Structure 1
């Protein structure tokens, strides 16, 4: 059963967590060099693969007792918030430019970039956490995919404009605050056994 509230929460968390990520900047670089629609198709397909893997991992967590899952999820959300707040900026990832502008070459470059760069990334871990927290894999998957696609579209089609208007440190802090709130809710549920959301 689909839950609009779960989709909305997951969308917000994943969108904010992914926005300051270096892969959004890599998508921006590819989008400025090549046809943006071709780049987006490859990036979008790679994000679907990552969300599917994260949902599978999160669904396995739901086999554990509920209070344990909420405790683990709460700690992982706190870890994610700490990663956002205290991570140092890495050098930009090197983007290998495809030799020509064909659909398959450009979308393939976007797909491979995201497939490799995002494996085990914070948003993939957060998606698994959210899948375990809500036990609504389809709703979590839809929210996560839409959040990732929205960031990819912003980066590929309008990244330069966004970077001029919204400072990345502000986005990073907002994402960390959301994760701290989710951590607190999960840890409260683990301690009391009461479901809040």
Structure 2
């Protein structure tokens, strides 16, 4: 179980760190109180992760080879998506205005709600959600995958709130994309090789 928690954590962490979610959280934290942003973002992640685990649980009822093949293809697609995003970030700065416009002056519970709404909307169909579904469907350990995935999302959003701007000074965004792409590629190949040799 600890191995699956670690697998889910590492997979989601590396994929989410260079994602729009990190940037959206960073921008929200510059406009609102960071703690309120982190609470709102964390609640959005919790709801999204519960939904992804539920969908993955339903998908686990499908034939094993089909599940593993689809999971492998999702990992490979994630590798391609992250590679393309990494290349685009080598040539252009990320546009933060989209998220800044959604962040309006607010207080207390309204700040939490604003952060929740922005991140909840941004996460639908996100790569981390698809990977969570795939991991649950493949390993049939929803609790372990939930714990690992949610922990990764909370750590990424915490980093965005606390050290986001400083982190991006030392590590280029495209490097994070390339690292995420490499991990997805390894997971995809490993999964598909397992299907082919079973």
TM over 0.5: same fold?
A: yes
Divergent runs of 4+, >4 A: none
* Correspondence 1:137-176 to 2 at 5 A: 137-176=142-181
Contact kept in structure 2, 1:36 and 1:157, CA below 8 Å: yes
Answer yes or no: is 1:31 the counterpart of 2:29. Answer: yes
**Aligned residue pair count:** 190
Q: Which residue of 2 aligns with 1:54?
A: 52
In structure 2, the partner of 1:104 is 109
Residue 20 (structure 1) shift: 0.7
What is residue 9 of structure 1 aligned with on the other side? 7
| Distance (Å, rounded) in 2 between the aligned partners of 1:168 and 1:52 | 28
Q: Partners in 1 of 2:46 and 2:11 — Cα distance?
A: 17
Rounded Cα–Cα distance in structure 1 between residues aligned with 2:162 and 2:169: 14
Report the alpha carbon displacement of residue 140 of structure 1 after superposing the two structures with TM: 0.3
Instruction: Tell me what 1:123 maps to.
Output: 128
Does structure 1 retain, via aligned residues, the 8 Å contact 2:32–2:105?
no
1:181 aligns to 2:186 (yes or no): yes
The more displaced of 135-144 and 24-33 is: 24-33
Q: Secondary structure at the match of 2:99?
A: coil
Question: Where does the alignment leave 5 or more consecutive residues of structure 1 unmatched?
Answer: none
Partners of 1:114 and 1:127 in 2: how far apart? 17
CA distance in 1, matches of 2:67, 2:24: 34
Is there any run of 5+ residues in structure 2 with no aligned partner, and where? none
Deviation at 1:112, TM superposition (A): 0.2
Measure, in 2, the Cα distance between the counterparts of 1:103 and 1:84. 35
Residues 98, 105 of structure 1: 8 Å contact kept? no
Q: Verify the 8 A CA contact 1:67 1:189 in the aligned structure 2.
A: no
CA distance in 1, matches of 2:195, 2:139: 13
Report the equivalent of 1:19.
17
Per-residue deviation at 1:91?
A: 3.7
The aligned runs of 1:73-84 (5 Å cut-off) are: 73-84=71-82
- Residue 190 of structure 1: which of 171, 191, 195 is its match? 195
